[in-house]
């Protein structure tokens, strides 16, 4: 995001790098890239006759069972035409026949009048983990730009949206924490890519390769796609989503690097809103001195100083986050209507706090968050361990007593959340088992990435609080032929905030509209 109050040092360069797999260090070259080929909505009812006809046609044309793919009729939102698809896929692709089946939902989107045109396909992979795709309400932003030349597929990743969603209530059907872990282990990037390939060969004519656009965690999935199924890819666009790819668990390295950027973002926030230093310090003192160490939350659970710091997840790293955080604290206290009435945190603030969290609708984000960094090793509550090394800065109660600014935390999940947040309590045991799990399957193949022949363009946001710049550059040096656009004009949410500009820029880097150097 281009900040409306950008510091004087703001830069807007367009740096292009071509990485050669034969070099281990980053280098800017003048050689050309190798010539390789790269809100809610009202659900429409299906026409049963249409479903049967379309499914039968698909079965006859491809040889796949109609039970594996059911397509709906076209419907409209302003300037767009949409069609829903449901695919029945195995929970475990390693044992396809015996595995239980789950449903994967994907929405096909085209510009009005282009329903029957032979457009190339573009698959969008949403950020997360554990979040569904956007629900278009009109032609706008990157979707509008993409629909100028693509047939866009918005796939709800397994466990989200309409893809056999794992909600707080549905997961409680599991009889034990271990049963839940055995189920959840199939919901990482490797199987998201398996689902994408399952869909591609059934949906795209002649099973041709498609373009993939991955935002944030969706970019992580895109790199997994490059590792294990490059035959399905025509080109890949990554926005704020290049993962660390080392063996074992890379979470420790991620959080060590991210804590540094989080401190920087806190400094920028308080420079923008210095009046909030005292307000937030007073809130921390109030919470620490309250009975039970915090204030009861409307949906259950308790707001503690540590929980208050969690507001940094959304407030420090996304567009308008600083402003939203400041306005939330404007109404943190109830007014004193009766002399002598007890000071208390307002219901407005407590409800606003919970609205910033999405654990009630998207619990997978908390439960699976650290596992996205694991390959054959456990995370052992990485963020919690790394934070202990920074307690001198992030101990909120100590900072309040010493008169220092309270530092918010960033994209980190901690074990205490499964006690303090009511909706996560039933999954405490499963979360601990996942944190200790060691036998995670591989997510990346470094040798395959070094020999990559799929055109890849990536937007790298210089001050990204969620995906560390230094770690991004280390990984990029291992992906053959990747081209980078490095900028601090946008933050992590650049794809959403920049309209179609980020998408258009990345596509231009691969189709010859942008210079090679």
The residue among 413, 436, 459 that closes a domain is 436
380-401 pLDDT tens trace? 999 999 999 999 999 999 999 9
**Residue that is last in its domain, among 414, 436, 458:** 436
Task: Provide the whole-model pTM.
Answer: 0.87
Q: Indicate whether 133 belongs to any domain.
A: yes
- The rounded Cα 389 to chain-centroid distance in angstroms is 26
My answer on whether 301 and 420 are in the same domain is yes
Between CA 19 and CA 509 the distance in angstroms is 14
Residues 241 and 292 in one domain: no
- From 233, 199, 236, 229, select the one nearest 215 (Cα to Cα): 236
Q: Are residues 105 and 191 in the same domain?
A: yes
In this structure, the answer to whether residues 219 and 116 fall within a common structural domain is yes
Instruction: With residue 502 as reference, give the H or E element that holds it.
Output: helix 501-511
pLDDT of 28 over the 60 cut? no
Helix residue spans in 242-333 (DSSP H): 251-272, 276-289, 305-309, 312-315, 321-330
Residue 319: the pLDDT is 84
What is the CATH number for 202?
3.40.50.1820
> Average pLDDT in the 344-349 region?
97
pLDDT bracket for residue 513 (50, 70, 90): confident
Within a domain: residue 447?
yes
Q: What is the mean pLDDT of the chain?
A: 88
Pair 163, 277 in one domain: no
Is the pLDDT score of 235 beyond 80?
A: yes
In a domain, 376, yes or no: yes
Give yes or no for a contact between 356 and 321, defined as CB atoms under 8 angstroms apart.
no
Give the tens place of pLDDT for each residue, 281-307.
Answer: 999 999 999 999 999 999 999 999 999
- Tell me how far apart the terminal alpha carbons of the chain are, to the nearest angstrom: 24
Q: Is the domain of 291 the same as that of 375?
A: yes
- List residues with catalytic annotation: 216, 439, 492
- Both structure tokens of 109: 């989107």
Q: What pLDDT, on a 0 to 100 scale, did the predictor assign at position 26?
A: 31
Domain identity same for 94 and 226: yes
SS3 183: helix
Query: Would 21 be classed as within a structural domain?
Result: no
- Within this chain, do residues 226 and 262 fall inside the same structural domain, yes or no? no
Which of 436, 451, 480 terminates a domain? The answer is 436
Domain extent, residue 360, equals 249-335+342-436
Domain count, the chain: 2
Q: Are residues 405 and 459 in the same domain?
A: no
Q: Which of 33-47, 72-86, 180-194 is the least confident region? A: 33-47
Q: How far is CA 163 from the centre of its chain?
A: 16
Least confident of 29-38, 132-141, 424-433: 29-38
């Amino acid at each position: 995001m281009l900040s409306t109050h950008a510091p004087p040092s703001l830069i807007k360069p367009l740096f292009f790098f071509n990485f050669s797999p034969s070099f281990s260090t980053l280098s800017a070259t003048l050689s050309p890239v190798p010539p390789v080929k790269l809100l809610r909505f009202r659900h429409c009812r299906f026409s049963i006759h249409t479903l049967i006809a379309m499914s039968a046609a698909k079965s006859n044309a491809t040889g796949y069972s109609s039970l594996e793919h059911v397509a709906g009729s076209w419907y409209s939102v302003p300037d767009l035409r949409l069609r829903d698809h449901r695919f029945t896929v195995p929970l475990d692709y390693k044992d396809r026949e015996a595995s239980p089946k789950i449903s994967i939902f994907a929405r096909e989107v085209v510009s009005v009048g282009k329903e029957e045109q032979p457009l190339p396909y573009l698959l969008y992979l949403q950020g997360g983990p554990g979040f569904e795709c956007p629900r278009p309400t009109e032609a706008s932003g990157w979707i509008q730009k993409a629909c100028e030349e693509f047939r866009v597929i918005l796939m709800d990743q397994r466990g989200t949206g309409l893809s056999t969603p794992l909600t707080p209530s549905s997961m409680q059907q599991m009889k034990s924490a271990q049963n839940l872990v055995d189920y959840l282990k199939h919901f990482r990037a490797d199987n998201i890519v398996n689902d994408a390939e399952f869909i591609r060969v059934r949906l795209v004519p002649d099973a041709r390769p498609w373009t993939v656009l991955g935002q944030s965690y969706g970019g992580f999935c895109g790199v997994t796609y490059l590792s294990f199924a490059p035959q399905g890819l025509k080109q890949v666009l990554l926005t704020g989503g290049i993962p660390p790819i080392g063996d074992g668990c890379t979470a420790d390295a991620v959080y060590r690097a991210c804590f540094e950027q989080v401190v920087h973002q806190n400094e920028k926030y308080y420079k923008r809103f210095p009046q909030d230093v005292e307000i937030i310090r007073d809130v921390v003192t109030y919470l620490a001195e309250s009975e039970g160490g915090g204030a009861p939350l409307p949906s259950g659970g308790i707001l503690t100083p540590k929980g208050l710091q969690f507001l940094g997840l959304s407030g420090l790293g996304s567009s308008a986050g600083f402003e939203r955080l400041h306005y939330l604290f404007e109404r943190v206290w109830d007014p004193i209507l009766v002399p002598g009435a007890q000071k208390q945190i307002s219901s407005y603030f407590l409800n606003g706090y919970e609205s910033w969290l999405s654990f009630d609708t998207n619990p997978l984000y908390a439960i699976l968050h650290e596992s996205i960094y694991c390959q054959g090793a456990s995370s052992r509550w990485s963020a919690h361990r790394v934070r202990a090394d920074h307690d001198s800065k992030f101990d909120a109660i100590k900072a309040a007593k010493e008169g220092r600014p309270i530092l918010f935390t960033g994209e980190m999940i901690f074990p205490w959340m499964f006690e303090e947040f009511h909706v996560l309590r039933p999954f405490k045991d499963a979360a601990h088992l996942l944190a200790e799990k060691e036998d995670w399957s591989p997510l990346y193949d470094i040798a395959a990435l070094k020999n990559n022949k799929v055109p890849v363009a990536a937007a790298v946001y210089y001050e990204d609080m969620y995906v560390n710049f230094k770690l991004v550059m280390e990984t990029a040096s291992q992906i053959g032929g990747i081209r980078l656009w490095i900028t601090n004009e946008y933050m992590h949410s650049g794809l959403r905030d920049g309209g179609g500009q980020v998408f258009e820029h990345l596509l231009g880097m691969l189709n010859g509209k942008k210079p090679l150097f």
